[in-house]
A and B are shown apart, each in its own frame.
Chain A
Amino acid sequence: MNQTSMLVATGLLASLASFAQTPDDCQAFRHHGKQDQARQCFTGLSRSTNPAIAAEGYWGLDDYQQANTLFRTAAGRDKASAAIRVRWGMLFLERFNPQEAANLFQEALLIDRNNADAYLGLAKTAAEGFENKAEEFAKKAIQLNPKLVAAQEFLAYLALEDNNVPRASEQAEKALQISPEALDALSVLATIDWMADKTNSPWADRIWKINPSYGQAYSTAGHFFVINRRYREGIQFYRKALQLEPNLWEARSQLGANLMRLGDYTAARQELEKAYAAGYRNAQTVNSLRLLDSYKNYETFRSGDAVLRLQKKESALLKLYFQPELERDIAYYERKYQMKLKEPVQLEVYPDHEDFAVRTMGLPGLGALGATFDTVVAMDSPSARPPGEFHWATTLRHEMSHVFVLTATDDRVPRWFAEGLAVHEETVASPDWGDRMTPDVIAALQQKKLLPLLDLDKGFVRPSYPDQVVVSYFEAGKICDYISHKWGDAALLGMIHSFANHKNTTEAIQENLHLQPAAFDQMFLTWIDGQTKNTVQHFDEWKKRAKGLPALAKQQRYDDVIREGTAIRDWYPDYVEENSVYEMLADAYLAKGDKKDAISQLERYRDIGGRNPATLKKLAQAEQQAGNAVAAIDTLSRLNYIYPEDGDLHKRLGDLLIAAGKTDTSIREYKAVLAWQPVDPANSHYELARALNTAHRAGEARDEVLQALELAPNYKPAQQLLLQLTK
């Protein structure tokens, strides 16, 4: 960002009288692309006996350590200088330490509570974390100093991050009124043109006239393309930025990170290593390189249009489930969205959530489970989270929706629609998939906090309250549910086409639903109110009475548990977390010896989306004991989509399946037992051999039984099977 005039505003110039050139002069050279002169100028500053001035010099020469040391000295000497603290904070912000930067800006405000530059610093710090306060701070800076062009430019930048193009243009124009050479305002305006596919932007021409080598303009564009999921174009812009300014390390790091997102690991490593070697070692660069190093521990499987990358320690197991599910999703979306992908989908599954997190950026507040970058999907492995915490097949179905919708629209799709459609698809797959309505969402519904359709993107990108991202996912999903329910899937498909034709939300709604967004909002709110009013109205009462159930159970007052639980269960049927009413009721029925009703409660729990593996296994056992093997198979099969990393699950399911004559699926389950490195591998090979033999796959059965005997040569059942197979 432009730093011209920063020092004028903060009054440091007074101490520069004895120098021929000031920091503003140096920044002015840089602003106009006169790099040699800028360097010469900064070298001059670095010789200053004033540590604050010398710090500016060293900073300009990229000697950040020396600059930091000198700022510390300067701040120590001049305890009343807010300006020094602001500049020092800006250095920290540039060098990847927003926390320390924020501390210094706050310190500056304690000295001078009307320091506009400190507010600008806080705005930039908040923006790093996509905090809603960024705009508030920037506005405060402008209010305190209406001529602070950098703050005005920053407001334009923030508006564009919110996808509010008219506002971004308006803010940028205001910045240009303050300074016609406001390069970052021009960059925002040029980006708006580039994102609208106007390749010849007049704003860009103005930029090059001021500074022919201003790579930052392209880098800014790269950022906006990326946050709008237009990764390939983002990469092109980062490349252009680096052609103009090869030392623009932030752009190089971003280029590497985005090449990595799209699966080009070799090129990504090259760029990231260059940035790292040049001292650009922010968390993203370092973590990305570490992640690239860890890829040697991954295996790649290819089949048809699917490429699957799994960590070696769990690849044998997960391949059995992820590969067919990925293929099923591809076939489903090809059919539903009437399109074929141009290139294979690559799915990467990470057993360490932190590894996955390195690939996910830009969305705050939500513990993301999956992320899509064009046709590359990265997601948590079931093993990355405690058992029952998430439904991996739901996450895959969600991300695969993104793959198709982003491809169909050439990435021109608003976030609310992309996320909403993906959430909608989760429960289309099966009602027990997807997320249940959480207390955060109920609270938002009670407080009428749902956003109008045209503002919904902001709920994802810059939430105004802690759970707004979760609420926005819920709302967007319900909007797509409503469209599907009232206008049919054809309307959703039509909207995809509208977005593909570069129509905005208003136009897409008009074209396909023949409504204005405001009218749609009204209809939707009426509908969602009808859908949720039972829970919304009774939630407080439910909460109060549900809390009493564990105490009743502890006192063994099972009749009271049943009476109370039955009375409140359907007020909030989506609650399937700890101490769910279903489980409390099932336990009470069991305690009274009523297995039938206990099973019935747990089946409700399962069907509504209950995911506790222990509860589901308990249900399967009860179903099996009740002679309902089909139901037990159903229950355990659903668990495969939740937490397949459980040898006991596969053994039990395999046994049930083979007894039910479903040999093919039993074979998969016995393979899963083996893949999970059982404590008794000889027995596991033997059971797989038995299933293969039943499926008349004698050759494979013989291989397996020989493996059993190799481990346990005197294992009699295996010996007998070998003799049988040899006959």
Chain B
Amino acid sequence: MRPLALSVLYLFAAMGLHAATFYITAAGLGGEPDYDKRFQMWSADIDKTLRSTEPGANVTTLSGAEATRAKLEAALADVAKQARPEDAFVLMLIGHGTFDGEEYKFNIPGPDISATQLANCLRGIRAERQLVVDMSSASGAAQQALAQKNRIVITATQSGNERNATLFARFWIQALHDPGADADKSGGVSALEAFRYASQKTAEFYETEKRIATEHAVLDDTAQGKGVRNPSPENGEGMLAASFPLLPLGAETTTQANTPAKRKLLARKEQLESAIDRLKYQKSAIPEDEYKKQIGALLLELARTQAELDR
């Protein structure tokens, strides 16, 4: 996935300079005190993480009595006013959802909001890169309505028939904290990395507890309206999500190319990264020993180049 990781690097850098990311998190009705408390705690955790990682970020969090349809629509309208095409937008929904066989609804105080109503609100947002993470039960039923070009749609369940309360949100939030979620060590967690992390942790939870898994998260970033559980080059899903930074790049990876020598090294680094990507894609066609030899040489060269850059 090197080309994707490379894109992440550029995107993170670009975001830091020009673009903004708008975050809206809504925690719906729990239905009982334990769930109410849990949903509010999770949304507060996301709020805190975003604000501390990205001071000055456009973060709106609605929970408890605040999370009404009117307020959610107002918050989305506000983003629609402010966001430019080069910006990014992230909507995260935590709570219970329902599906009556025809329409998915996110359960909030007062009237619920349906997937269609949500999609209508999102339509006004100009940000060309959008991520919608619906972590509620039955959220798979929202896939079709929320699908749109350049929008990543992640749902905690694969269909509206998975109606039990979900745990995906717990592990999605964990992904924001655990350095291990940054699988390619790019210094940031992409939407794809967070999805994979949370999906795997959710599956492990059910496996360890010896419970039947009642949720299977899916991702769609090609506007198919039907997500997949394992995004990969084979099924064509995950490219956009891999390049979508959920949390900004750490300072360590932003190398300033402020001298000719550094610029040369950076160029060399990019060449090496591209060569590594190409080689990895050819892996199956190359004898194993030969592949190991070539990739070893390139990775060593990349390490040396990085060491030079860091001096």
Contact = CB atoms under 8 A, between A and B. Distances in A.
Asked if A pairs with B, the answer is yes
Interface of A: 383, 385-387, 645-646, 677-683, 702, 706, 709-716, 718-720, 722-723, 726
Interface in B1-50: 2, 5
Contacts, number: 84
A521 B310 CA distance: 80
Nearest to A385: B210
Given A679-B196, A714-B306, A720-B303, A386 B210 contact: yes
A714 B210 contact: no
B299 A383 contact: no
A387 B208 contact: yes
Contact of A680 (B181, B280, B307): B181
Given A386-B210, A679-B201, A680-B183, A710 B307 contact: no
B296 interface: yes
Contacts of A386: 209-210
A693 to B, nearest CB: 15
Contacts of A682: 183-185
A702 B5 CA distance: 23
Contacts of B208: 387, 645-646
B12 to A, nearest CB: 13
If over half of B's interface residues share one DSSP class (helix, strand or loop), that class is named, otherwise mixed; here it is helix
Interface of B: 2, 5, 178-186, 196-197, 200-201, 207-210, 252-253, 273, 276, 280, 292, 295-296, 299-300, 302-304, 306-307, 310
Nearest to B181: A679
Contacts of B178: 679-680
27 contacts: A383-B207, A387-B208, A646-B208, A679-B196, A679-B201, A680-B181, A680-B182, A680-B183, A682-B183, A682-B185, A683-B179, A683-B180, A683-B185, A706-B299, A710-B276, A711-B183, A712-B186, A713-B276, A713-B302, A714-B184, A714-B186, A714-B253, A714-B302, A715-B184, A716-B310, A718-B185, A720-B307
A713 B9 CA distance: 13
Ordered nearest first, which 7 A-B pairs have the shortest CB separation? A680-B180, A719-B303, A712-B185, A715-B185, A709-B299, A712-B184, A386-B210
Nearest to B304: A723
B110 to A, nearest CB: 36
A719 B307 contact: yes
A702 B304 CA distance: 15
A565 B215 CA distance: 41
A718 B207 CA distance: 32
Contacts of A710: 276, 280, 295, 299
Nearest to A683: B180
A678 B178 CA distance: 13
Interface centre among A682, A715, A722 (most CB of B within 10 A): A715
B185 A679 contact: no
Given A679-B201, A682-B184, A706 B302 contact: no
B278 to A, nearest CB: 12
Given A682-B183, A682-B184, A715-B185, A726 B300 contact: yes
Contacts of B280: 710
A681 to B, nearest CB: 7
A655 to B, nearest CB: 14
A677 B183 CA distance: 12
A711 B306 CA distance: 17
B279 to A, nearest CB: 9
Nearest to B298: A713
